[in-house]
Amino acid sequence: MPEGDTIHHAARRIRPLLAGRVPDEIRTPQPRHSLDRWPQRLAGRAVTSVDAYGKHLFLRWEGGLTLHSHLRLTGAWGVYRAGARWGRSPRRAWLVICAAGHDVVQFDGPLLELLTDSRTRFDQRLAALGPDILAPAFDDARFLRRLREDDPTRPIGDALLDQRTVAGIGNIWKCEGCFLARIDPWRPTGAVSDEEALAIMRALRPRMEQSAEHGHRAVKREIYERAGRPCPRCGTPIRQRGQGDANRPTFWCPGCQR
Ligand SMILES: [Zn+2]
């Protein structure tokens, strides 16, 4: 599943191609959007900004229009030189924007919408989200306030996935963050101190920032998908078990995570 670093990485690749430009062409091949007339409604308008917040990406256009995308489990953004082969089948493209000699492509949706009354509706939605893990200055106080509003019996690993508490962390970074801060992802949130919770954020931010800048392959995973292999810190075999309502595969070291 694309996490916040992947979305910020996409925004950083898309921004120099679209921001300040009127695209040469916009297509919406997905039949679901065939009646929306986005190409006509966006024709002749420049993109004013490309923003990521948590796992959300926003393309803002002149005239107060905003395209909002969330990839959920299946979607992806691709950026290709015009004429180059795309990473997924063209049949899976939902949105194609051609500009500056490149194709910016959103594949497989599944959430893509054009907001017209942008500011208000969107600010309300963003306000419901916790602070962005990749914000230039992370809002510690807001994160802790949201975390303490949550059920104190909920395991910390599961609580970290709640986008109302902190935006942008998915299952991989949840596992990595708990490992790096030496916290058992099964420990009830009420038994995790503020300092420990912030230690998870401090461990994740530079790694996710590096991934946002250079792509997720640029950052080594310590524990994710390494069940049965020795912990890189203490050598105890790494364990795996499903966590939360969605039963997300959770990796941890019972030897050094408490
Ligand atoms: Zn260990």
Amino acid at position 171, single letter: N
180 C-alpha vs ligand 1 centroid, how far in Å? Answer: 10
Spell out the residues 6+ positions from residue 140 whose beta carbon is closer than 8 angstroms to its own.
Answer: 198, 201
Instruction: Check residue 39 and give its pLDDT.
Output: 96
- Mean pLDDT value across residues 128-140: 96
pLDDT for 127: 84
One-letter amino acid identity for 29? P
Rounded mean pLDDT, 236-247: 97
220 an active-site residue? no
| Ligand 1 mean position, distance from CA 245 (Å) | 26
Torsion on CA atoms 106, 109, 111, 114, rounded to nearest 10: 50
Backbone angles phi, psi at 99, to 5 degrees: -160, 150
How many CB atoms are closer than 10 A to CB 129? 19
Lowest mean pLDDT among 15-24, 70-79, 119-128, 225-234: 119-128
Are 186 and 155 a contacting pair, CB within 8 Å? yes
Q: Which residues surround ligand 1, an ion (CB under 5 A)?
A: 231, 233-234, 236, 253, 255-256
55 catalytic residue (yes or no) = yes
Q: What is the average pLDDT score of the chain?
A: 95
**Rounded to 5 degrees, what angle do the CA atoms 101, 105, 110 make?**
165
Question: What does the alpha-carbon distance between residue 231 and residue 252 come to, in Å, rounded to a whole number?
Answer: 9
Rg (CA), the chain: 20
Query: What are the start-end ranges of the E strands in 170-245?
Result: 239-243
CA of 183 to the centre of ligand 1 (A): 11
Mean pLDDT of all residues in 208-235: 96
Q: Residue 118: pLDDT above 80? A: no
Quote the tokens at residue 239: 């364990």
239 CA from centroid of ligand 1 (Å): 10
Find the catalytic residue in 3, 23, 131, 176.
Answer: 3
Catalytic annotation present for 2: yes
Cα of 158 vs centre of ligand 1, distance in Å, is: 20
Per the listing, tokens 């969330």 go with 70
Report whether 157 contacts 250 (CB < 8 A): yes
The single residue of 23, 55, 174, 185 carrying the catalytic annotation is 55
Distance 236 CA to ligand 1 centre (A): 5
What is residue 116's predicted lDDT score, i.e. its pLDDT? 83
Please report, rounded to a whole number, the percentage of residues in the chain having pLDDT higher than 70: 98
Q: What is the Å distance from ligand 1's center to 179 Cα? A: 8
- The pLDDT value given to residue 119: 63
pTM, entire model? 0.94
Q: How far is the CA of 246 from the centre of ligand 1 (A)?
A: 26
**Alpha-carbon span 197 to 170, nearest angstrom:** 16
Tally the C-alpha atoms within 13 A of residue 235's C-alpha that lie toward its C-beta. Answer: 0
Distance (Å) from CA 8 to ligand 1 centroid? 31
Residue 49 sits at the vertex; the CA angle it makes with 23 and 46, to the nearest 5 degrees, is: 30
Q: How far is CA 248 from the centre of its chain?
A: 16
**Once rounded to an integer, what is the mean pLDDT over residues 251-257?**
98
